Amino acid sequence: MKPSTYSTGMRAEQAGASLLEVLIAVLILAIGMLGIAALQAMTLKNTRGAAERTTAVIQSYAMMDMLRANRGAAVAGNYNQGYLCEAPEDPAASQIAGDMDRWIAQLQQSMGPTACGRITCGAQTCTIGIRWNDERASGGEAIQELTTVTRL
C-alpha cells in the first residue's frame, strides 16, 4: 500500500498525539477540576447559610408555640424583650423566664453563640426577631436578621 500524500507531495507520517497536545489537554482538564472544586466550596458555604435561616424559622415557631401556651402573659406584654443574647438570671423564677431561658439556649445551641432573640407582643400580634452572624456564607453579612409576625 502506498503512503498517503498531500497535494504538495509531502508524506503524512504522524502516528499519534504530540507531547504538546497532551500537555494542553491536561491543562484544560486541571482548570476544569479547579473550577469544580471552587464551586463545591461555595456550595458548602451557601448550604450552611440556608441551614441557619431554616433553623431561625424553626426557632421562631418554637417561641410562637410558647407564647400561645401562655397567651395571657404574652398579650399583657410580659414576654416583651429587646434582643436578648443571654438567658435570664433566674429561669426558675417564672414560666416566662423559663421559656426565655429554653429559647435562648436552643437558639445558641443550634445557631451558635452569636444568636440573639427578641419578642414584641401587642393585643393581637407578636413579632419575633432572631439575629445571628452569617459572615461565613459567601456574600453573607455580619448580622443576619429574621423577623416573624404572628397572630395569637
- Please write the tens of the pLDDT for every residue from 70-94: 999 999 999 999 998 887 777 777 8
Query: What's residue 7's pLDDT?
Result: 56
- Percentage of the chain beyond pLDDT 90 is 50
CA 90 to chain CA centroid, Å, is 32
Split at pLDDT 50, 70, 90, the class of 12 is low
Domains of the chain by residue range: 19-151
Query: What's residue 137's pLDDT?
Result: 63
H or E stretch covering 126: strand 125-132
- Please write the tens of the pLDDT for every residue from 36-54: 999 998 888 788 888 889 9
